[in-house]
Amino acid sequence: MSAGIVPYRVESVGQVAGLVWHYLRDHGPATLSKLAREIDAPRDLVMQGVGWLAREDKVQFHEGNRSKLVSLTNTTP
């Protein structure tokens, strides 16, 4: 787990949301499973980070070939 990320703190959800945003910016659309594997944080925090970004309209969900994908709605921070 990344230094400074403490599970079960609101600040940690915000930090992980930033990691998710940067991952999607750098790598493009990804499944939730891939995000959970690639981001160095507990799976629950990654999912909460995606939810945080969704609430702020920074990500969108769409159908991929086999599963749903998450992508940025725009690339401005």
Q: pLDDT > 90: what percent of the chain? A: 75
**In a domain? residue 43:** yes
17: domain range? Answer: 10-72
Average pLDDT over residues 20-33: 97
**In a domain? residue 5:** no
> What DSSP string runs through 11-67?
HHHHHHHHHHHHHHHHH--B-HHHHHHHSSS-HHHHHHHHHHHHHTT-EEEEE-SSS
**In a domain? residue 20:** yes
Residue 71 has pLDDT above 70, yes or no: yes
Average model confidence (pLDDT) across the chain: 89
The enclosing domain of 15 has a CATH number of 1.10.10.10
pLDDT value, residue 76:
53
Residue 31 has pLDDT above 70, yes or no: yes
Average pLDDT over residues 22-44: 96
**In a domain? residue 50:** yes
How many domains is the chain partitioned into structurally? 1
The Cα 23–Cα 17 span in angstroms is 10
